[in-house]
Structure 1
Amino acid sequence: MIDFLQATGWGDARRESLAGDASTRRYTRLHRDGQTAILMQDPDGDVGLFTRLARHLTGQNLSAPRILAQDTANGLLLIEDLGDGLLARLAQTPQSEQDLYLLATDALIALHDTPPPPDLPQATPDRMASMVDLAFEHYTHAPEALAQAVAAFVPQLQTHAQPTDVMVLRDYHAENILYLPDRQGAARAGLLDFQDAMQGHRAYDLVSLIEDARRDVAPATARACVAHYLAATDLPEDAFHAALAVLGAQRNLRILGVFARLASSRGKPQYIDLIPRVWGHLQTDLAHPVLASVKPIIDAALPAPDAAHLERLKAACPTP
C-alpha cells in the first residue's frame, strides 16, 4: 500500500480513516496540499470490476468516483473524493428527505435509460430465488423450508420481475448515495457502491432505496419516489407495484440472513439491531396478493424478531 501511494504522489498525505460498510473494504481519506482523494482497499474483491463499472456510470453522466490510480493485483484504488454529504445525514426533515430521495430516483431513471454494461451477471429468477438461502441458514435453520420458498419464489419472479434489462446497483440506499449540489440533474447523486451490480429488473434498486434497512423512510417519501419513477417511465402501475413487492421480499429475506451472518461469522452484533426494521419491510411485501403462495412458507419457517430471538442471534457472535 505504501509503494502504491508513493507511486501516485500521495505517499506523504495525511490519512483519515473513514467508516466502512458491511464488507471487508476499507476506506481512507488522503489530504495533500489542500486536495483530497480516497484510498480504497479491497483485497478480497475485484477492483478491476469496480473500475470498469465506475467508468460506465461516469460515461452516462452519472456521478461515480473517478478512478485516479489502481493496483488490481493488490486490491487498491485511488478514487475521487465525493465528500461526506450522505443522504442519510442530510435527510433530516420531511421535505429534505423527499427532495433527496427524489434526486436518488432521478439517478435511477437516468441509469435505466441507457443499456447496461456487457457481461454483468443476470438476475434470473432461479438465481434471485436461491439468494434467499441466507435467511434459512443464518436467521433461522430451516433447510426444508428453504427448498419450498425457492420453489414458490421462482414463478413469482418469472411473472413479476421481468424483463431484466437494466443495471441494478444492488445496495442502493441513503448511506451509499451522496448529495453533490454543485453538479446538475441526476449527477447531483453521488454513487458509491456498485461492485456487486447485476443486470436485473428496474424495480430492484428503487425498493432498496425506499425499504432501507438502516433508517425509516417516511411513507409519503416512498410513495413520491414510486410515483415519480412511474411518471418518468410510463410503466404500468399495478405491475410495477407487484415487482416492488416480489423483489422487496426477496431482498429483505436475504438481508435478514446477511445481518445474522455478519454477527455470527464476523463479530458484528450491531447488525442484529437492524433486523426488526427489515422484518417490517418483509411483512409489508408479503402482504401483496402476488405473494400469497410465498407468505405461508415464510410465516411457518421464520420466527419473528422478538427479544429472545434477537438475543439468540447476538449470542452466536464470537467473543473477542
Structure 2
Amino acid sequence: MQRQQALQTWLESQYPAQAFELTFAAADADYRRYFRATFSDGSTMIAMDAPPEKMSIEPYLKVQQLFQMVKVPQVLHYSIENGFMALEDLGNVPYLAALQHDERPEVQRLLLLEAIDQLIILQKASLPDQLPEYDEATLTCEVNLFPEWFMAKELNKKMNFKQRQWWDQSMQALMPVILEQSKVYVHRDFIVRNLMLTRERPGVLDFQDAVYGPITYDLVSLLRDAFIEWEEDFVLDLAIRYWEKARAAGLPVAEQFDDFYRQFEYMGVQRHLKVAGIFARLYHRDDKDKYRPEIPRFLNYLRRTTRRYTELQPLYALIVELVGDDELQTGYSF
C-alpha cells in the first residue's frame, strides 16, 4: 500500500488540479503492477509501478522508443528514480480475452494474422547493435532453467548419468538449428496476453526485455502460447501464412518452408524448456502459483515436437521418463 500511495502522490503532482480514481489493472510475473487512473472527464491512463530496488524502467523507455513502428503505449510521464510511469491506455481487452470470447476458427485466424502483420512490421525495422544479443550463452542459460527448477524443484529429481547424456545430446542438436537463423528484433514475449485489441491495430505491451535474435522466436511465442492452445493444423496454417508474408516483405527466412518450420519447432523446444523452468521458479522461489498450472501445456508441446525429429529423440526419452507419455491436462498439480 505504501507504493500505491506513493504512486498516487506522484500522479497528483503530474496532473495537478485533476481529480482521478486509481484502480488496480494488472500485475506481471515480475515486480511490476499496473493501475488505471480514471479522470472526471472519463479519460484514462495507465500507471506503472516498478520498484526501483527490484528493476529499472530504463529498458522499457529505450525499447518503447525503438518500437515506435508498432502500436506501443505512449509514455506520458515517468520517474526513473521512483520507478513510476504514466502510459497511454490501450484499453482493457487483451487478445487472450478476445480469442476466448469468440472461438470460431475464422475469427481467431483473422486476429492472429493481424498480430503477425505487426510482427513483420517490427522485424522489418530491425537493425543490429540496438538491442542485447540473444546469443548462445543466453539461450543455453534459459534452457538450463528446466533441469534447475522444473526437474530439481517441481519434480524433486536430479539427472542421472543416462539422463544427462540425453540432455547433452539434445542440446548439441538443438542449438545449431537455432543459431543458424537470421536475427531480428525479438519482443521475447509476443503472446496473446501482451497484445491488446484496439480499433486500429493490435497494441503491443511488455516489450522491455526485447533482444536481437532468432527470427522464429516471436512467432513461436504467439502460436504456442502458455494460456491458449490450437490444433496442430491451425498452427501450421498460420506458420505458412507468416512465412509467405515474411518472404514477400523481404525478411531473411529460410527459402524452403520445411526448413523454416524445422527452425520454428526447434526454437519452440528452447522456449518451452525455458518457460517450464520459469513457471516452476515463480512458484518455488517467488511463491507465485498463477503460472504453475500451465506447465503441463509446455510438456505436451515438448513431447509432440521432440518425437517428430530423430535428433531430438533423446530429449523425448528424457521427458517421457520424467512425466510419462500421456497428454497432461493444464491445471494439473505435480
TM-score range, shorter chain: 0.7 to 0.9
- Cross-structure match for 2:106: 95
Which residue is equivalent to 2:22?
Answer: 15
117 and 190 in structure 1: CA distance in 2 versus 1, 3 angstrom threshold: farther
Say whether residues 1:108 and 2:128 are aligned partners: no
Q: Kindly indicate whether residue 215 of structure 2 is the aligned counterpart of residue 171 of structure 1.
A: no
Residue 64 to residue 261, structure 1, CA distance change in 2 (3 Å): same
For structure 1, which segment, 284-293 or 193-202, has the greater mean C-alpha deviation from structure 2 after superposition? Answer: 284-293
Question: Is residue 124 of structure 1 aligned with residue 124 of structure 2?
Answer: no
Contact 1:123–1:164 (Cα < 8 Å) also in 2: no
Find the residue that maps to 1:130 and give its secondary structure.
Answer: helix
SS in 2 for 1:23: coil
Deviations 1:216-236 (A, max 9, x none): 224343223211111112332
SS in 2 for 1:27: strand
Conserved 8 A contact 1:167-1:197: yes
Pick one of 252, 255, 258 that aligns with 2:275: 255
Task: Please tell me whether residue 213 in structure 1 is matched to residue 226 in structure 2.
Answer: yes
Contact 1:98 1:224 in 2 (8 A): no
Structure 1 SS opposite 2:27 = coil
What is the aligned counterpart of 1:50 among 48, 54, 60?
60
Match of 1:149 among 167, 177, 197: 167
C-alpha contact 1:242 1:290 (8 A) present in aligned 2: no
Question: Structure 1 pair 111/82, CA: closer, same or farther in 2 (3 Å)?
Answer: same
Q: Residue 298 of structure 1 corresponds to which residue in structure 2?
A: 318
Query: How far apart are the structure 2 equivalents of 1:146 and 1:103?
Result: 42
TM-score normalized by the length of structure 1: 0.86
1:102 partner SS: helix
Give yes or no for contact 1:82–1:190 (8 Å, CA) kept in 2. Answer: yes
How far apart are residue 201 of structure 1 and its match?
0.9
Per mean C-alpha deviation after superposition, the further-off stretch among 256-265 and 202-211 is 256-265
Residues 170-200 of structure 1 deviation map (CA, whole Å, 9 limit, x = unaligned): 111111101222x2xxxx0110011111111
Q: Output the TM-score relative to the length of structure 2.
A: 0.82
Match of 1:199 among 209, 212, 232: 212
SS of residue paired to 2:185: strand
AA in 1 matched with 2:67 = L
Equivalent residue number for residue 294 of structure 2: 274
CA–CA distance in 1 between the matches of 2:269 and 2:238? Answer: 19
1:278 aligned counterpart, secondary structure: helix
Query: 2:20 and 2:165 mapped to 1: Cα distance?
Result: 52
Structure 1 residue ranges, 4+ long, deviating more than 6 angstroms after superposition: none
Q: 1:102 to 1:193 in 2, by over 3 A?
A: same
CA distance in 1, matches of 2:285, 2:219: 29
Identity across aligned pairs (percent)? 25
CA pair 115-306 structure 1, distance change in 2 beyond 3 A: closer
Whether the 8 Å contact between 1:17 and 1:27 is mirrored in structure 2 is yes
Structure 1 position 224 matched with structure 2 position 237: yes
| Unpaired stretches in structure 1, ≥5 consecutive residues | 314-320
Q: Give the drift of 1:18.
A: 1.1
Report the counterpart of residue 316 of structure 1 in structure 2: none
Q: Which runs of 5 or more residues in structure 2 are unaligned?
A: 1-6, 153-157, 248-253
1:20-53 per-residue CA deviation (whole Å, 9 max, x = no partner) reads: 2322210000011221100011122221110111
The answer to whether the Cα contact below 8 Å between 1:164 and 1:200 also exists between their aligned partners in 2 is yes
- Residues 303 and 316 in structure 2, CA contact (< 8 A), matched pair in contact too: no
Aligned residues: 304
CA distance in 2, matches of 1:147, 1:4: 55
Displacement, 1:301?
Answer: 6.4
What is the deviation of 1:127? 2.1
Which residue number corresponds to residue 284 of structure 1? Answer: 304
Contact persistence 1:123–1:198 (CA under 8 A): yes
- Computed over aligned residues only, the root mean square deviation of the Cα atoms, in angstroms, reads 2.5
Query: Is the contact made by 1:132 and 1:250 (CA closer than 8 Å) also made in structure 2?
Result: yes
Q: Which residue of 2 aligns with 1:140?
A: 151
Q: For each residue in 1:153-176, what CA deviation from the matched residue of structure 2 results, as whole angstroms up to 9, or x when unmatched?
A: 255322344334211111111111
